[in-house]
Amino acid sequence: MLPLKDPSLLIDKCLVNGKWVGAQSGKTVDVTNPATGDVIARIPSMSAQEVEDVIGHANAAFRPWARRSAKERSAILRKWFDLMTENADDLAVILTSEQGKPLAEARGEIVYAASFVEWFAEEAKRVYGDTIPAPQADKRITVIRQPVGVTAAITPWNFPAAMITRKAAPALAAGCTMIVRPADLTPLTALALGVLAERAGVPAGVLQFVTGSSRVIGKVLTDSDVVRKLSFTGSTEVGRVLMEQSAATIKRLSLELGGNAPFIVFDDADLDAAVEGAMIAKFRNAGQTCVCANRIFVQRGVYDAFADKLAARVSALKVGNGMELGTEIGPMIEEKGIEKVLAHIDDAISKGAELKVGGKRLDGLMLQPAVLTGVTTDMTVTQEETFGPLAPLYAFDTEEEAVAMANDTIFGLAAYFYTKDHARAVRVSEDLEYGMVGHNTGLISNEMSPFGGVKQSGLGREGSKYGIEEYLEMKYICSAV
Ligand SMILES: NC(=O)C1=CN([C@@H]2O[C@H](COP(=O)(O)OP(=O)(O)OC[C@H]3O[C@@H](n4cnc5c(N)ncnc54)[C@H](OP(=O)(O)O)[C@@H]3O)[C@@H](O)[C@H]2O)C=CC1
Ligand SMILES: O=C(O)[C@H](O)CS(=O)(=O)O
Give the DSSP letter of residue 418.
E
pLDDT given at position 188: 98
Distance 214 CA to ligand 1 centre (A): 10
pTM over 0.90: yes
- How far is residue 369 from each of residues 230, 342, 346, 446, 449, measured CA to CA in Å? 35, 11, 14, 26, 30
Q: What is the pLDDT of residues 17-37, one digit of tens each?
A: 999 999 999 999 999 999 999
Angstrom distance (rounded) from CA 363 to CA 75:
47
- The maximal CA–CA distance of the chain, rounded, in angstroms, is 77
pLDDT at residue 332, rounded to an integer: 98
At 156 the pLDDT is: 98
Q: Residue 278, Cβ neighbours under 10 Å: how many?
A: 26
- Reduce the secondary structure of 316-356 to three states and give it as a string: CCCECCCCCCCCCECCCCCHHHHHHHHHHHHHHHHCCCEEE
Q: Which residues, at least 6 apart from 377, have a Cβ–Cβ distance to it below 8 Å? A: 394, 405, 408
Q: Evaluate: CB of 290 within 6 angstroms of ligand 2.
A: yes
Residue 282: closest CA among 372, 366, 343, 220: 372
- pLDDT (tens digit per residue) in 238-277: 999 999 999 999 999 999 999 999 999 999 999 999 999 9
> What is the predicted ipTM?
0.93
Catalytic sites, residue numbers: 256
Q: What is the pLDDT of residues 429-450, one digit of tens each?
A: 999 999 999 999 999 999 999 9
How does pLDDT run across 352-366, given as a tens digit for each residue? Answer: 999 999 999 999 999
Left, alpha or beta for 478 (phi > 0: left; psi -120 to 50: alpha)? beta
Model confidence pLDDT, tens digit, residues 80-111: 999 999 999 999 999 999 999 999 999 999 99
Phi, psi at 284, each rounded to 5°: -60, 135
* Å from CA of 389 to ligand 1 middle: 19
Q: What is the DSSP string of 269-328?
A: S-HHHHHHHHHHHHHGGGG-STTSEEEEEEEGGGHHHHHHHHHHHHHTPPBS-TTSTT--
pLDDT beyond 90 at 124: yes
User: Taking each helix axis from N to C terminus, what angle separates 162-174 and 103-123, rounded to the nearest 10 degrees?
Assistant: 10
Q: What is the pLDDT of residues 461-471, one digit of tens each?
A: 999 999 999 99
Which pLDDT score is estimated for 258?
98
289 Cα to the center of ligand 2, angstroms = 5
Mean pLDDT of 329-346: 98
Confirm or reject: Cβ of 164 under 6 Å from ligand 1.
Answer: no
Q: How far is 273 from 128, CA to CA, in rounded Å?
A: 42
Percent of the chain scored above 70 by pLDDT?
A: 100
Indicate which residue's Cα is closest to atom 8 of ligand 2. Answer: 445
- Mean pLDDT, range 467-477, rounded to an integer: 98
Q: Which residues contact 80 (CB under 8 A, 6 or more apart)?
A: 117, 121, 196, 197, 200, 202
Q: How large is the average pLDDT for residues 48-65?
A: 98
CA of 255, closest atom in ligand 1: 1
pLDDT, tens only, 274-328: 999 999 999 999 999 999 999 999 999 999 999 999 999 999 999 999 999 999 9
Q: Is the CB of 261 under 6 A from ligand 1?
A: no
What φ, ψ does residue 41 adopt, rounded to 5°? -165, 165
β-pairing verdict for 370-373 and 354-357: antiparallel
Could you give the CA distance from residue 428 to residue 71 in angstroms, rounded to a whole number?
A: 43
Q: What is the mean pLDDT of residues 324-344?
A: 98
CA pair distance 43, 118, nearest whole angstrom:
29
CB of 158 shorter than 6 A to ligand 2: yes
**Above 90 in pLDDT, residue 1?**
no
List C-alpha distances in Å: 368 to 287, 319, 326.
12, 7, 15
Q: What is the pLDDT of residues 136-152, one digit of tens each?
A: 999 999 999 999 999 99
Is residue 343 pLDDT above 90, yes or no? yes
**Percentage of the chain exceeding pLDDT 90:** 100
- Say whether pLDDT at 235 is over 90: yes
Residue 265 near residue 298, CB atoms below 8 Å: yes
